[in-house]
Amino acid sequence: MMTQQTEKTTKSFSDEVTSRHGGETLTSCYQCGTCASSCPVARLDSSFNPREIIKLSLLGEKEEVVSGDAIWLCCSCFNCQERCPQNVEIADLFYALRNIALEAGHAPGMYADFASALVAEGRIVKISKFVEKKRKEYGLPPLKSVDLEALNTILSATGFSKSEKTEESQ
């Protein structure tokens, strides 16, 4: 039988997820496993199981869900989402869980680097002199410069810049 405290913790994480954009359908899951059997990532890496992550989220295991690597492995192919009999928006749910993880300072370093580079240079990966030279050799035009002011206006309006700073300060 669930204690009052456990019930409270479970409900508060479920509520946190369902109140997020993308996380609204969490509680419709009845654990059939169709998502896990449709997932190409799960086929390659047995440590990744979308049904299990949803179960942990429903059980209120916030720390285990947001501090682990699993939520970052989904490649957003939407196979599971197309097949879920309960219309759980599974791929979108992973975005919601990643946003919670990001705010809690658990995003993998690689993503923090991408975010910083995007804010500073307008691209998630720095274009090296080597790449520029190769583009010229292949007859490709030089890459256009990025309108950083416009980009940063968008990033600020969406809250992205704030998340990026949160991640940097961890």
Which spans of this chain sit near ligand SF4 (rule: CB under 6 A)? 29-35, 38-39, 41, 50-51, 54, 74-80, 84-86, 88, 90-91
Using CB atoms within 10 Å of the CB of residue 167, give its burial: 0 to 12 exposed, 13 to 18 middle, 19+ buried: buried
Can you spell out the DSSP letters for 94-135? HHHHHHHHHHTT-S-HHHHHHHHHHHHHSSSSPPPHHHHHHH
Distance of CA 80 to the CA centre of its chain: 16
**Based on CB atoms, which residue is closest to ligand SF4, 76 or 156?**
76
**Based on CB atoms, which residue is closest to ligand SF4, 36 or 155?**
36
Give the three-state DSSP class for 81. Answer: helix
**Based on CB atoms, which residue is closest to ligand SF4, 14 or 38?**
38
**Based on CB atoms, which residue is closest to ligand SF4, 27 or 116?**
27
CB of 115 to ligand SF4, least distance (A): 21
CB of 29 to ligand SF4, least distance (A): 3
